[in-house]
């Protein structure tokens, strides 16, 4: 039923990308959208809405962002829809406490950016966002890139640990030490990924 603030913010990002793509000083084929936390969710929605973004960067967007919902630690649908109900459509709150009944999960949102590049950043101490669930979201979204002949995210035979930087596929992922922030280290990883794939 309608949309929430995240959809409105994402639409604004899409309009900005549309304007930027017409400017002579912008490489329209290399526009990126980035966000941290709620704006990481917004970046994923913007990537789903507009093909203008060559790179969709989600930094610690967690619940209702890049983290798979089923089995997730930390923040759940009940928490986020109670505190920030205006971010989402009203019907999303119907899944509070019953996430396993959802006909979708967050990897659907990540997959909507295929075959373009998606980069996900996580932090070890950010259990509320759950860095393992974010990695699992990337893994579950990877088949969308495989449809285009890609691979998605590099697969690990273990849970990710701080220092893991997986930049070989169309979905990049890194896990750093520390808390819920967009840090210089994150920026360095995003720039490195774009230079490698650009």
What residues are annotated to the active site? 37, 180
Helix segments in the chain, DSSP class H: 5-21, 38-49, 77-83, 107-111, 131-146, 184-197
The structure tokens listed for 75 are 């923040």
Q: Is residue 159 a contact partner of residue 132, using CB atoms and an 8 Å limit?
A: yes
Residues written for the chain = 198
Closest to 67 (Cα-Cα) out of 157, 117, 138, 6: 138
Residue whose entry in the numeric block shows the structure tokens 């009203």: 90
List all residues 6 or more positions away from 23 whose beta carbon is below 8 Å from its beta carbon.
Answer: none
Per the listing, tokens 């309009």 go with 15
174: helix, strand or coil: strand
> How many other C-beta atoms are found inside a 10 Å radius of the C-beta of residue 61?
29
Structure token pair of residue 126: 């950010």
């Amino acid at each position: 039923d309608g949309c929430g603030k995240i959809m409105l913010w994402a639409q604004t990002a899409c309009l900005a990308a549309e304007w930027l793509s017409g400017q002579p000083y912008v490489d329209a084929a290399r526009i990126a959208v980035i966000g941290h936390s709620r704006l990481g969710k917004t970046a994923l929605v913007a990537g789903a809405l507009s093909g203008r973004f060559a790179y969709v960067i989600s930094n610690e967007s967690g619940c209702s962002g890049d983290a798979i919902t089923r089995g997730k630690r930390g923040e759940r649908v009940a928490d986020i829809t109670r505190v920030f109900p205006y971010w989402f459509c009203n019907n999303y709150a119907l899944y509070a406490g019953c996430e396993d009944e959802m006909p979708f999960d967050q990897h659907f949102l990540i997959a909507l950016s295929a075959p373009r590049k998606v980069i996900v950043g996580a932090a070890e101490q950010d259990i509320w966002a759950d860095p393992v669930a974010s990695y699992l979201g990337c893994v579950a979204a990877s088949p969308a890139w495989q449809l285009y002949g890609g691979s998605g995210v590099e697969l690990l035979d273990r849970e990710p640990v701080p220092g893991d930087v997986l930049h070989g596929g169309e979905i990049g992922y890194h896990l750093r030490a520390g808390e819920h922030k967009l840090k210089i280290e994150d920026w360095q990883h995003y720039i490195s990924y774009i230079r490698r794939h650009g």
